[in-house]
Amino acid sequence: MIQYERRFKLKVAREGAAGALPVAALARRYGLERSMVHRWIETYREHGQQSFKGSRARRYSPSFKAAVLKRMDCEGLSLRQAMVRFGIGSSTVIKKWRDQYDLGGTIALTPARVRPRMKKKPAVPKRPEDMTPKEL
């Protein structure tokens, strides 16, 4: 997947928000998918200059996930609208939360416990009397 720089996203989103060109023409101009340009424009309209600053490996608390799902239900937000409003990187993430919640409620939104890797024990050096002549 291609990663675009924040400045480029802002430029495209500003042009789209200005409305001088239809989204399809804007997407063709920059060689982008229309849906991506729509998403960028919506994000820019919602967050302005602060758009596209999110970190990649963001973790969300179970209470945040539940709050997003509740707001979606109360306000009738689509996945894309919720993604833009809450600054979530992908609508697929929210879909996954919805599926988890439907299967097990709020408790299912809690991440599974991650076990740490087992550390290898450091090699104990052999005593000279236990070594073969070749090892010496």
* pLDDT tens track, the chain, 136 positions: 678 888 999 999 999 999 888 999 999 999 999 999 998 998 888 888 888 776 555 788 899 999 999 999 999 999 989 988 888 877 889 999 999 999 988 888 887 777 777 777 777 777 878 888 787 6
Provide the 10 A C-beta neighbour count for residue 56.
6
Structural domain boundaries of the chain?
Answer: 6-50, 62-109
135: Cβ contacts below 8 Å, ≥ 6 apart = 126
Residue 87 has a pLDDT of 83
What is the rounded CA–CA span in Å between residue 65 and residue 82?
11
Residue 30 has a pLDDT of 93
Residue 54 has a pLDDT of 64
Residue 2 has a pLDDT of 77
The phi and psi torsions of 124 (rounded to 5 degrees) equal -90, 125
What is the rounded CA–CA span in Å between residue 95 and residue 50?
25
